[in-house]
Amino acid sequence: MTREEYLTEAMEQISDRYIAEAALIRRAPAGSSPRYRRVTAVLAACACIVLVIGLAAGSLGLWGAGEGGSGGSGITVSEDGVTIPPLSVDGEQGAANMVLFVIYQGGIYSQYEELPAELKGEYLDTSAGGIDEWTPQSEYGELTGSAAGKLYAVQGYDTGFMVGLEMENGSLMGLIRNNGITLKEGRELFEDRLHLNGRFTQVTWQSREDWYNGTGGEQVFTEVHQEALERFVTALCEAEFMRSEDIPLPDGADNIYDSLEVCHLFFRLEDGLTVHLRCFAGGYVSFAGIRGVCVQIPEDIFAAVCEAF
């Protein structure tokens, strides 16, 4: 099969759900049309390099294969918490995932969202890029990836969690290490890594349907909701992590996204970072930058925020 035939066949297999997922790469500008949003998502999916990995695609934490469904994610549970295993990048095994990534300090950092310029910290190193879907495993090494560019620290965030990649247009793309980690309590992510508690300045709500279809519909929480939002964040920090695949599914359901997803929440922090949360019926909440794991909070606290509109 030629390169052109491979790409054509691959794109034909992308469902509308995965095209919607590609919108995570860069949220469309506020007020843009549904057509603009959909085209942006398709282009994003096309522009991303296919990363072939040795584990199930869901363990990368982006597309969610094996999450809340019948397949296994490779994520394990112990008294230490849930462990998302390190990725074994292997160009010969055929499990493909479309994602912008860089290998830095032995870990794979995957694309999250564009960061405010003010968050650019000290220069760390430079990714040579050079990885595509035909790259042999022997060439996957430190400071390679699907994108080339200078890597920077993100001010206020540990480089073991997030770094910034300078794009060709000068923007700073946030990359998160969402594998090779163990999480037990919610505060390890929401407080220690994301610094969410007490630092959000605006929160918006979007229904599942509007997010997937790119039709807008964002609602902004006001001061009336402040106490409910604070209780929500506190509950996230106090909860323990679990595998998303362990969320009970309704009879006949295949995955949590089609059957349980309620809404998306966007917490805008003081420094300009946006924390994107996905919320599922039953009080389950996951961070969009680290898929495959979630926490469960009390349903009354969940409902006060996720069913506010």
Q: Which pLDDT belongs to residue 138?
A: 84
* Average of per-residue pLDDT across 81-97: 64
Binned at pLDDT 50, 70 and 90, residue 178 comes out as very high
**In this predicted model, what pLDDT tens digit does every residue of 36-59 receive, in sequence order?**
344 344 444 444 434 333 332 333
Binned at pLDDT 50, 70 and 90, residue 89 comes out as low
Binned at pLDDT 50, 70 and 90, residue 135 comes out as confident
Domains and CATH numbers, the chain: 65-86+100-132+140-180 (2.170.150), 184-309 (3.30.1490.410)
Helices (H) and strands (E) in the chain, counts: 8, 18
* Average of per-residue pLDDT across 257-281: 97
Please tell me what DSSP assigns to residue 23.
Answer: G
* Average of per-residue pLDDT across 31-35: 38
Q: Mean pLDDT across the chain, nearest whole number?
A: 81
Q: Which residue has the tokens 């009970």?
A: 248
Binned at pLDDT 50, 70 and 90, residue 244 comes out as very high
Binned at pLDDT 50, 70 and 90, residue 88 comes out as low
Q: Which pLDDT belongs to residue 133?
A: 79
Residue 270: exposure state from Cβ atoms within 10 A (0-12, 13-18, ≥19): exposed
Binned at pLDDT 50, 70 and 90, residue 99 comes out as confident
Q: Which pLDDT belongs to residue 258?
A: 93
Collapsed DSSP state (helix, strand, coil) of residue 20: helix
Distance CA(103)–CA(141), nearest Å, equals: 7
pTM beyond 0.85: no
Q: Which pLDDT belongs to residue 72?
A: 66
Beta pairing partners, 267 = 203, 275
Q: Which pLDDT belongs to residue 137?
A: 80
Query: pLDDT > 70: what percent of the chain?
Result: 73
Residue type, 137: Q
Contact predicate 164/154, CB 8 Å: yes
Residue type, 174: G
User: How far from 295 is each of 235, 251, 266, 300, CA to CA, in Å?
Assistant: 9, 22, 17, 15
Close Cβ partners of 176 (under 8 Å, ≥ 6 residues apart) = 109, 110, 112, 161, 162, 289, 290
Residue type, 277: L
Please tell me what DSSP assigns to residue 249.
Answer: P
Residue type, 25: I
3-state helix, strand, coil in the chain (%, to 5): 30, 30, 40
Q: Which pLDDT belongs to residue 50?
A: 40
Q: Which pLDDT belongs to residue 73?
A: 78
Contact predicate 89/140, CB 8 Å: yes
Q: Residue 228 CB: number of other CB atoms within 10 A?
A: 16
Given the DSSP bridges, would you call strands 81-84 and 50-53 parallel, antiparallel or unpaired? unpaired
| Residue 267 backbone phi and psi in degrees, to 5 | -95, 110
Q: Which residue has the tokens 């929500």?
A: 232
* Average of per-residue pLDDT across 293-304: 98
Return the ∠ at Cα 25 (arms to 293 and 144), rounded to 5°.
Answer: 85
Distance CA(87)–CA(109), nearest Å, equals: 10
Distance CA(269)–CA(196), nearest Å, equals: 7
* Average of per-residue pLDDT across 216-233: 97
Q: Residue 184 CB: number of other CB atoms within 10 A?
A: 15
**In this predicted model, what pLDDT tens digit does every residue of 71-83 receive, in sequence order?**
467 999 999 999 9
Selected residue with higher pLDDT from 34 and 180 = 180
Binned at pLDDT 50, 70 and 90, residue 120 comes out as very high
Distance CA(246)–CA(134), nearest Å, equals: 34
What single string gives the DSSP state of each residue in 24-76?
GGSPPPTT--HHHHHHHHHHHHHHS-EEEESS-GGGGTSS-TTTTSSS--S-E
Q: Is the pLDDT of residue 132 over 70?
A: yes
Contact predicate 110/157, CB 8 Å: no
